[in-house]
Structure 1
Amino acid sequence: MKIFSISRIKNEEDIIESFVRYHLNFIDEMVIIEDYSNDETYNILKKLKDDEKLPIHIYRNSKKPIPQKEVINNAFNIALNDFNADLIVPLDTDEFLVCKDGGNPREILEKLPQDKYYHVFWRTYLPSLDEKSFSLERLESIRDPLMDDRSKIIIPSGLTEKYEVTITPGSHSIENKDIPSEELDELRIAHIPIRNKIQCISKETIGWLNDISDYYKDPKASWHQNIMFRMLVESEGDISDEDIINYAKEYSSRKSFDVDIAEKKHPFDTSFCKNMELKYTPDYSENSYSKILEFSEDLALNYGKANQALKDVNEDILDGNLDKMDYLCALEDAYTHVKKQLYLKENQLILRSKNYIGKIELKNEKIAELKEKASENKALHNKISKKNDRIVELKDIVSQKNDRIVELKDIVSQKNDRIVELKGKISEKNNAIIKLREENEKLKKLNNEMQNSTSWKVTKPFRRG
């Protein structure tokens, strides 16, 4: 059985290495959609793939926003169609598939029937705030399981033979309600959304600002991020360790419990794991606001550019210089201009970043790869062109043959007409012959009668004169 995980990630440098190393102890291969992180996430993935040859498949999203539902279903189709996965496990980077009572989940996964999909409930771990970097082995406590009312799904590929499978946003279910499902009690999703005070402040603040800036996204879906944002505003940024722990206990749960009792000891089990040494994971930064400030600056710049573009279009409309079609074209041009400015801004940030050399090298590798592919495509194009020329040539030959066939059919038709005509004449000749034969027979008969007559004798031939 080929077991695959699928994930969409962005800015997860503190946990991505643990995520990959842990899951490859029982998952065969991983499909990862990387959302153009501006931290070390992508570089860590490249090192795991290129240097250590781990079986991960990395795809980078385009820089324009793509809905979560579309991305995760694309990843599902990649695992299903490109790699023939038998079982697919959608996971966020802060989610780790574990056995309920410890041990390797592989045996449970291999025994799952293919006629349904499975719900696996969260088990949310609480952060260890005094650690300089993230490690699974240091996770000791979980919140009360009664507060974890969310589940993720596991999908056997066999369902696609009978049903149309579309994963819902967040990978909590499948859209088609006719597909049977079952709660899988033997497994849990170890959910580790809050790992450090700095990480929490940065993640939740940027997440909230990003979501409310997205016109098409309902801010109510990010209500838990709004809680942390309001805490930061009301406390003027002075968040205590106790505040972070309590926030982690209530994270993304709509159930109301007393947070003082919502904590239980439950060490994270890595006893069955190999190759868990972290080589590329950085320590947590001492400043939680640098990324927030960078994101806020980009957000403000983008807003200003979009606002100016819209203002220019509106002025043209008020001046009567645009009709409806021109308006739509102007909006499109304005959007293109903003995207171009964003692209230029991102390039400037890359040139100023501390990873300038590494990223340029990655770009050069990608260019070399693209040139190689372009060369292969050119050779393939030449082959296809020659094949197309040969096809055209063969089509001409076939056309000539068809014309000759038509010509021969006309000749055959004329011959057939001539044969019919000759057959008619032969029939007439035959009828004439038959008549001649009949008359000949009559003459013979008459002659015989004349010879046999006794009254008729020829004694002397008749001579004239």
Structure 2
Amino acid sequence: MRVVAVSRILDEVDIIEAFIRHAATFVDHHVILDNGSRDGTLDVLRRLAEEGVSLTVYQSPSICFSERDMNNWLYQEAVRHHDADWVACLDGDEFYDQRHLPGGLRSYLHELENSRENVVAVRFPWVHYNYTTHDDAAQNLVPQRMTHRTDVTNDYKIIASWRLSKEKGLVTEGQHDVHLPPQSTGKVVTERRLRIAHFSERNPAQYVTKFVRGWAKILTAGEAYQSRGYSSHYRGPFELLRERPELLLRSEAFLRTKNEERCLVNDPMDYRGGALRYTPPNDPEMQSVRALIGFLSEVSSRYGQLLDAVPEAREHSESIERRIDRIL
């Protein structure tokens, strides 16, 4: 039985090494699709590959993208070109925690693979670990620095079987579930004994980078994407930062205690990846600046390329620039 992980990543230099090393204890190979990292993430991946970690890394220049298309491209890449029996769908801030699953993940998947049930995917629940005042800023290894979690959620990520392709099914947005055609006999099961430790908010600077870039991507995609609700959870904090930045950047609650209003449990996850070798020292503000300037550079360059390539686009842009409106 062969398990292949697939991940889309973007500017994860503080956590990518721990993520890859931990995932490697569960999977046989890892396929990465980078969406334009500029913060040193790719340097870490190159050094891991040179060390011998089993990786394939692709890069897409996409600024605004069809998430479902990319997720299914990754799934098919794992099945067709890396002989995956199971495709582990993970983001770069998600870590398997199998402490409560007797026998562990591979044994569980092996039993499903040999069963007569036509299981096409398994859902595993998220457990959110977010930054708190309890974190030791000197600890560079994120899963050991952040040990306080909220309750187990009813949000899931999947591992998809090769049978999903046979059933003509698709991985949905966020890799949270699968879509099966009406005639499918495929079965999706939920297994809450294995959890996915999710380190989405690791410090204020990283969180600001995440929502600024996340909503900016939707703005670049146009009104059609905004009206469909893509990444709408980023819109509120983005607009607050734009209109009243002091409410975030001078807020003790946001900078330190944002996540402590929740019911927190001190429950360090079972990190299995070993020591870090290539991760730079924890410097979230500088990593955030590097990531955001990289994104701004890419968006600005893409805009210029569009004007050079499409005369109608330049004409439209210049018509906007010549416009003068009285506002008061």
Larger Rg: 1
Q: 1:269 to 1:66 in 2, by over 3 A?
A: same
Q: Which fold has the larger relative contact order, with Cα–Cα distance below 8 Å and residues 6 or more apart in sequence?
A: 2
Please identify which structure carries the higher helix content. Answer: 1
Please identify which structure carries the higher strand content. Answer: 2
Distance of 1:60 and 1:296 partners within structure 2: 18
Residue number among 180, 183, 190 corresponding to 2:187 in the alignment: 180
What are the superposed Cα offsets for residues 82-131 of structure 1, whole Å, 9 maximum, x if unpaired?
Answer: 12111111111111122253785333232224611211111111225551
Q: Is the 8 A contact 1:198 1:284 kept in 2?
A: no
Aligned partner of 2:320 in structure 1 is none
Distance of 1:296 and 1:69 partners within structure 2: 25
The one-letter code matched in structure 2 to 1:156 is S
Aligned-pair CA distance for 1:10: 1.5
Q: 1:98 to 1:285 in 2, by over 3 A?
A: closer
The one-letter code matched in structure 2 to 1:138 is R
Distance of 1:65 and 1:238 partners within structure 2: 27
Distance of 1:306 and 1:78 partners within structure 2: 30
Matches within 5 A, 1:42-441: 42-50=42-50, 52-62=51-61, 65-99=64-98, 101=100, 104-113=104-113, 115-116=118-119, 117-128=121-132, 130-132=136-138, 133-145=140-152, 148-161=153-166, 163-176=167-180, 178=184, 179-215=186-222, 216-218=224-226, 220-232=229-241, 233-236=243-246, 238-240=249-251, 242-243=253-254, 249=259, 260-270=261-271, 273=272, 276-282=274-280, 283-287=282-286, 288-289=288-289, 291-293=291-293, 295-296=295-296, 299=299, 302-303=302-303, 306=306, 309-310=311-312, 312-313=314-315
Paired residue secondary structure (1:12): coil
Matches within 5 A, 1:34-45: 34-45=34-45
Q: Is the 8 A contact 1:49 1:55 kept in 2?
A: yes
The one-letter code matched in structure 2 to 1:213 is T
Q: Is the 8 A contact 1:118 1:181 kept in 2?
A: yes
The one-letter code matched in structure 2 to 1:48 is L
Distance of 2:62 and 2:2 partners within structure 1: 31
Distance of 2:164 and 2:291 partners within structure 1: 42
The one-letter code matched in structure 2 to 1:68 is E
The one-letter code matched in structure 1 to 2:265 is K
1:5 aligns with 2:12: no
Alignment: residue pair count = 300
Residue ranges of structure 1 left out of the alignment (5+ in a row): 250-258, 316-465
**Identity fraction in percent:** 25
Paired residue secondary structure (1:150): strand
TM-score (norm 1): 0.58
What are the superposed Cα offsets for residues 274-316 of structure 1, whole Å, 9 maximum, x if unpaired?
Answer: x51111112224444454355446545655775784365569x
Distance of 1:80 and 1:312 partners within structure 2: 43
Following TM superposition, where does structure 1 have runs of at least 4 consecutive aligned residues deviating by more than 6 angstroms?
none
Q: Is the 8 A contact 1:198 1:286 kept in 2?
A: yes
Q: Is the 8 A contact 1:126 1:245 kept in 2?
A: no
Residue ranges of structure 2 left out of the alignment (5+ in a row): 318-328
Aligned-pair CA distance for 1:241: 5.2
